[in-house]
Every structure is written in structure tokens, then in C-alpha cells.
Amino acid sequence: MSLSQQQLVNEFRDVGGARQPLLIVRGLKKYFPLKSTGFGLRRERLAVRAVDGINFEILKGETLGVVGESGCGKSTTARLLMQLTEQDSGELIFDGQALGSRGLPLREYRRQTQMVFQDSYSSLNPRMTIEDSIAFGPTVHGVSKREALERAHDLLLRVGLEPARFAGRYPHELSGGQRQRVNIARALALEPRLIILDESVSALDKSVEAQVLNLLQDLKQAFGLTYLFISHDLNVVHYLCDRVLVMYLGEVVEVGPADALFEAPLHPYTQALLRSMPTTDPLQRTEEAPLAGDPPNPINPPSGCRFHTRCQDARAVCASVAPIFHEAVPGRRVACLKYQPDSGYETAQIPLREVTHG
Amino acid sequence: MTAAILPDPTGERLDRPAVVRSRGHGANVLRRLLRNPVAMIAATILLLLILVAIFAPWLMPADPYATSMLKRLKPIGTEGMPLGSDELGRDLLSRLMLGARLSLFMGIAPVVMAFVIGGSIGILAGYAGGWLNTVVMRCVDVLYAFPSVLLAIALSGALGAGITNSLVSLTVVFVPQIARIAESVTTGVRRSDYVDAARASGASSLLIIRKHVLGNVIGPVFVYATSLISVSMILASGLSFLGLGVKPPQPEWGLMLNTLRTAIYTQPWIAALPGLLIFITSVSFNMLADGLRSAMEVKQ
């Protein structure tokens, strides 16, 4: 496919116009059932509520960061978006078209959405050369083998790996950073519009990480991509992302523009998360742990607001009333009773429990 | 939205320098195998045996079926009979040479068949996962629960004596064993990120199995299957020994061991010769399998 052709296709692909979110996620839910204990009637159906009815949008051309503690459902969300795991309920609307509808079969959706995994080594077939790994996707979609290999070489060059040196090699002969560049090239080979980066740079050395992040920025510009950037590194998220989504225990607790969110986080969990960022400023150093303990068990999450067990601002009402995810400040949505009018938060003044400091 | 994949704006392909190609996995394994002296000795012995088996009709010094009451149980080194003669006065060297054909065939053929059948079952079950995997593998486990010797004897006994029937029963014995290995390796591969990445690119399950699973599963299964050849040879010899396999007067090492066992007190060396060959062959196959395993296991 020549350059002008691809441009044409990309314009043709933009179905809903610039204002239409690239991906709307509605009520996405995934429970992983556990091995049931007991027999017959006493049998309990337990499930890990990995992702519990989340709603958000990914806008065209943005980088949406997803942050949260380990086990909060970030990676499950990524796998659900990539449809590697099937959701229990909820729908994905890609550029105005519901996934699975006639306008957007799964196969076509997978061409437009690609993913880069965390483990650069295990995400490449050890028995395939680099060029074959990259060329595999296009051949699945009917591109001839020769053309696919040519595209693979072009992409290798684009991600900073000289094709003559690297195309014929095997994954184990490359460094972690080089492998992750190959994984990025493979994701690009299908000419996607959305790329899900699931902790894609977390396993790399800091210096290599910076190089790959810059590469991702360049590629985003050059190919007009949209990123969903999942990471636990808040500094990187702040640097890279336009908007940030905060997850806690399978739910979205806050979404907002990155700068505003890092400047003045609304949700107490976001506040605690940001306080946990290591700082080089001696005046900002703190001895206290901003978030005590582990997150509660996702099999049996706390009632009301899920964060109330660890929240500094929790009131009695938080244990009984589940907050609604709403727009508290223009452009920023949060799920916290503090910002919810008539939630009963203000009237209940007795703290749920003593929060001890230091 | 303009994507400048190409280095030159005209869209013309630049002259590409030749791509440096690394040695593939297979070539690496072969190279390491060639450096392993034990495996090479075993391979040489096996190669010799196979060549002898193939060219037996031309290499045989005498007719392996010609009996002679006068030349019964001659010792090793008798003139005209370098390895002596059996209980019916037939030339033992000739019979051992021709017997290599059936013995090797009965060692290799059931394993090859079980490799194809069991490998397919294991890969499909492992890749499908879920309840289908459970159902298939439990069925395989039922067969697996029988001791292999017992199962082979029972099946051969039920089907009747003969080469084809022993072939079938030995295949049935090995299918579950190979299926289990293939299933466990496939399950591991299926959970890897590169299979997820292939799924994410929209490839069908069949294509993923062909391009990504097969290449990573076949190696370990092949190694295991190689180590089964010696078991198969011994089992086949056992069946012949019990009169369930090859029928006389056809030469086969197991059968020869059976008929010569009465001579164990008069001519112990003669009686031991077929057994010795079975031993050498099966040890060689095991050594080769071991070498193959260590050649594949090198961490990269």
C-alpha cells in the first residue's frame, strides 16, 4: 500500500468525525469465578470482581493513562479491550460502531486496535525471526508475504532497528529495549488506530525506557495514533498522558486531564496515590505511608464506596452508599460522595474510624 | 495522519542491504547434538543397524530360513557361521541381520503413529482448553492408568497374534503418553503472550496452532517420543516372546530370544545375542534422546 493510499484509508476509516470518541467503554464487567467450595446447596459461587462495570471514553488522538495499584483491574481492562478475555457484560463502541455489529466485526476491530505487552520476551515467538513475527499480522489480513516482509523492514527502520542487522534475528539475540521496539513494530504492522500499552515500558531500564517513550511519542505523531497507556509509574503517566484514569478495585474512581489531576486530585484515593510518588525535593519528603495496607479482597469488596476502609475522609455514609461516577468539575469525573450533592456526606460528621498519622 | 514509513519520500524502494540471517533453532540444536560424543556414538550405532536392516538380504552370508539338524546350536566362531546357529541349525548372523528389520520397525512405527495421533490430540486439547480439554484428557487418563506392558499384552491377546495387531496395540499404549506431554506443553504455549498477540492480530485458531504452537510444541514431544522407541522395541520383543507378535519362522529379536531360551545352559552366548542387540539398540535410542533433550534445553 502506498503512502497516499494509506492516508485515504485512514480518512475513510474515521467514521464518526473528530469529536466522536475513538472508543466508548460502557458497563464493562468481568468476574473470574473461583473454584467453588462445598457441595450441592451449600455450594458458594465466589468470583474475583476484576473489572466491575466501568465506563470511560478514549478520545481520538489522545493518550489516556490508566493508573492504580496492582490487582485493581488495569491489565484485565486491557485484555477486555483487546478482546483476549471475553467480558461478562458491557459493550465497546469503536468510532461510533458497536463491536460485534455488522459494521465492525471482531476481526476488523482487532486490526484497528493493537496491544503491546509488558514482557517483551514472552510476547515474541522464540522460533520466529523478527521479520516473520512482524509480518505475521498483515499476512493474516491478506497481505502477500513479500509485501508483509517489506512492511516489516520499513517498520523496523521506523522503530530504530536496522532491518539488515535485525530482521533475520531471533528474539533471544536482542536486548529488552530492542525486543520492545520489535513488539511496537508488530503492533504497528496492522496499521491500527488505537494501541493499548499494558505496562509496555515498565520492565525496561530507565534510560531505555526513556528512549522507547520518545519513540512512542514520535510514532503517535507520525501515524496519528491513540494510546491507552497503562502504568504504575505516575511520573511517566504525567509526562506522557493527556488524560488520566484512576482505577481502584475494579472500578474507575476518577478521570480527568493529566495536568489538572496531578495538580489537584479530587478523589481521596488519587490524592493518596499521588502522595506516594517518590520525590527528589527534600521539603516534600514524608515519613508516613500515604496509603496503609493492601487493597481489600476483590472477591468480597467493601460495601458502599469501596475505598472507605482506607480513606482518610471516610464518613459513616461511605460504608453504605455507593458513590455515583459523575462530573464534579467540568471535564473531570469522580466517584466520591464528597463531591456528590445530597449524598448525605456533609451531614454525617462522625469519622468512620480514627486515622492515625505518623 | 500521514504516515512516513518509508525513508524516501518518493515511495520508491531503496536498495536494501542483504539481511543477516541467524541460524534457526533447528540448526542450533543439530550443531550442539553433533558436539555431543555420546549422542554421536549412539547415532552411529543406530545408523549402522538401520543400514544393515535395509541391506540385510544382500549382506546375509547364508539363508536365514535354511534349517539343518546337523548344525544345531553351533558356538560362536564356527566355520561358515561366525555367530553360530540356532536351535534349528539356521545361521544366527543372517537371522539377526534380517531380524533387525522387524525389530527396528516394531520399535519405530508404533511411536511414529502415536506421535501423529497423540500429538494431534494433545495439541488440540491443550489449545482448546476448558471443558473440552478436561473431557479429552480424562479419556486419555483411563488408558494411561493401565500398566503399558499389561495393556499391550491384553490388546494383542484380544486382537490376536500378528505384526499388524501388535502395531495397533503398541500405538494404543503410546498415544496417551504422548498426548499428555503434548497437552501440557501446548497449555504452556497457549498462555504465552505471543499467542495472545497472534490472537490480537485476528488470526484463526488453526493458523495460530500451525504457525505459533506447533513449532514450540513439537521439539519436546519429539524428544519424548524418541525415548519411547526403546520401550516400544522391548514391548514388541516381549509380545513376540509371548507368541503374540511376529510368528515363526520370521526372524525377530524378541522371538529369537524366546526360542533360544531353552539353549541358555548349553550355548549361553548364542541365547544372549538377540537380547544383547535389543539392549544395544534401546540404549542407543535412549542416549540419542538424552542428547537431543540437552541440545534443546540450552537456555538462550
Which chain B residue's Cα is nearest to A116? B197
- To the nearest whole angstrom, how far is the Cα of B109 from the nearest Cα of chain A? 28
How many Cα atoms are found within 13 Å in the side-chain-facing hemisphere of B101?
A: 15
SS3 for A261-302 is: HHHCCCCHHHHHHHHCCCCCCHHHCCCCCCCCCCCCCCCCCC
Confidence band for B27, pLDDT divided at 50, 70 and 90: confident
Q: Is A61 exposed, middle or buried (0-12, 13-18, 19+ CB in 10 A)?
A: middle
Domain boundaries, chain A: 3-31+49-247, 267-280+289-339
Q: Which set of grid coordinates corresponds to residue A337?
A: 460522595
CA distances from residue B264 to A124, B70, B86, B94, B256 in whole angstroms, order as listed? 60, 19, 11, 20, 12
Per-residue model confidence as pLDDT tens digits over B252-277:
888 888 888 888 888 888 888 888 99
Instruction: Provide the Cα torsion A130, A132, A137, A141; round to 10°.
Output: 160
Which chain A residue's Cα is nearest to B299? A172
Residue B55 in any domain: the answer is: no
Strand partners, B21: A168
Among A244-248, A337-341, B196-200, the minimum mean pLDDT is found in A337-341
Q: What CATH number does the domain containing B170 carry?
A: 1.10.3720.10
Note the pTM of the prediction, 2 decimals.
0.82
CB pair distance less than 8 Å for B216 and A10: no
Residue B182 in any domain: the answer is: yes
Residues 161-200 (A) with a CB less than 8 A from some CB of B: 163-165, 167-170, 172-173, 183, 186, 190-191
| Cβ contacts from A onto B, under 8 A | 123
pLDDT over 90 (residue A134): yes
Q: Return the residue in A4, A95, A132, A136 with the most chain B beta carbons within 10 A, the one to mutate for interface testing.
A: A136
Contacts of A82 in chain B (CB under 8 A): 196, 200
Count structural domains, chain B.
Answer: 1
Residue B261 in any domain: the answer is: yes
CB pair distance less than 8 Å for A3 and B2: yes
CA B52 from centroid of its chain's CA atoms: 18
Q: Please compute Rg for chain A using Cα positions.
A: 22
Position B141: which residue type? Answer: D
Q: Which residues of B touch A (CB under 8 A)?
A: 1-7, 11, 13, 16-22, 24-25, 192-194, 196-203, 207, 211-212, 215-216, 300
pLDDT over 80 (residue A2): no
Confidence band for A40, pLDDT divided at 50, 70 and 90: low
Residue B19 in any domain: the answer is: no
Residue B54 in any domain: the answer is: no
CB pair distance less than 8 Å for B202 and A170: no
- To the nearest whole angstrom, how far is the Cα of A124 from the nearest Cα of chain B? 5
Q: Does A11 touch chain B (CB under 8 A)?
A: yes
Q: What is the ipTM of this complex?
A: 0.83
Residue B126 in any domain: the answer is: yes
Structural domain including B206 reads 36-49+89-295
Residue B3 in any domain: the answer is: no
pLDDT over 90 (residue A149): yes
The C-alpha angle with vertex B180 and arms to B175 and B182, in degrees rounded to 5, equals: 95
- To the nearest whole angstrom, how far is the Cα of A247 from the nearest Cα of chain B? 24
Query: Tell me, what DSSP letter sits at residue B70?
Result: G
Confidence band for A1, pLDDT divided at 50, 70 and 90: very low
Instruction: Domain A3-31+49-247: give its CATH code.
Output: 3.40.50.300
Q: Among B166, B163, B141, B142, which residue's Cα sits nearest to residue B153?
A: B166
Q: What is the pLDDT of residue A41?
A: 58
Per-residue model confidence as pLDDT tens digits over B210-241:
999 998 898 889 889 988 988 898 888 888 88
CA A40 from centroid of its chain's CA atoms: 40
